[in-house]
Amino acid sequence: MGERIGKEKVEREAGYLYFIGKDGYVWRAPMKRTKGGSKKKVGTEQIRKDSGYMYYIDKQGYVARAKMKNA
């Protein structure tokens, strides 16, 4: 599976999509069904992205990465 690389825990809210932006910070954006809300930076830890990896927020709320097969 993946390896945890972040040290900061992100608290999730229902109705939002969490992702790692191009700037390396964790962002959240409202899903289509969520009324109101806007895109917002929620993390303070900057992640340096390496080529060939997929970055995501794991179930515990930490940033993790997994090697992509065809990269």
What is the structure's pLDDT at 1? 74
* Total number of domains in the chain: 1
What is the structure's pLDDT at 47? 93
* Residues with pLDDT less than 50, the chain: none
CA nearest 21: which of 48, 3, 2?
48
Looking at residue 60, its amino acid is: Q
Q: Can you give the residue range of the structural domain that contains 27?
A: 3-67
Does the global pTM surpass 0.85? no
DSSP per-residue letters across 28-55: EEE-TTS-S---EE---S-----TTEEE
Which residues does 40 contact at the CB level (< 8 Å), separation at least 6?
Answer: 27, 28
What is the structure's pLDDT at 41? 95
What is the structure's pLDDT at 37? 81
